Structure 1
């Protein structure tokens, strides 16, 4: 069996939550994917972050492949390359905090705090309180479905499976709950 077939079979087993298959896939392809990530990022630490994101995604989303999609080592390399490029795009350019003027006098840049301003924090707390109040108006199961979707990042099929409810019910709960939350938030604004 060649690497392509082995990768495809391991990914199929991972979709069934087979941890041994996940370990086997990591052992089989991690060094190759690391090389791809390192070639793009040029930084070992960043390449390791990319590799971690790829494997976390494989574990969490392995069942989400399109029907008939043949996932191979080449596919994993493309995914890794795209993740590395995305990470590079998100990275802020580094600038020195110190600089010298024309007379050679050293100055320091005023660095903006990364957190929200006090006013933004206050408004955020008000929004949080309103959202908490509005979430309390939802029935328990629709509220749980909404929380699983937005806080745990689960898809509708994953929520239906976890809650043991029909997919259509979960979709309806989510849609109706969002509409109710929107109305409640607007009324409290």
Structure 2
């Protein structure tokens, strides 16, 4: 039975699949900083509701590339997933690799236990760092990257950084890199670019 998280309240199922748990979708980006923490807490509560609908099995999935509003965008796992203890999950990775056309997806298995409820309430400082609000970054550019830098990527090879986007953010920073196979926007927290001398 397909349904939204909101409509699942009060229901239970032996197996639940949560799809699209990606940064920018769940949680959805806040429009302004004043309401951001309140909206973030509400989405965290919704995720908890969705997870606890599963009596026996829960599958959480996301993709690293998604077509949104006509554009192919790199996404990555929701920062909410970092709040689930690794001891409570089994991570399964599915990968299809082709020449410079990579589609990655992941699924987590989760056994609902009461211990997750305690970890869902992170300190405000931890929540702020996860979403890159003002005053939460360690330095102006924690990635030590700038335009013109030569970098190496494990799949695309060597390339040149064209520009950085959201460079001050821990989770949302990305870099446009020119590789021999084309220009790619890479999420820095996922891409693990190696700076070359």
**Both structures adopt the same fold (TM-score exceeding 0.5):** no
Higher percent of residues as helix: 1
TM-score, normalised via structure 2 length? 0.25
The structure whose Rg is larger is: 1
TM-score by length of 1: 0.26
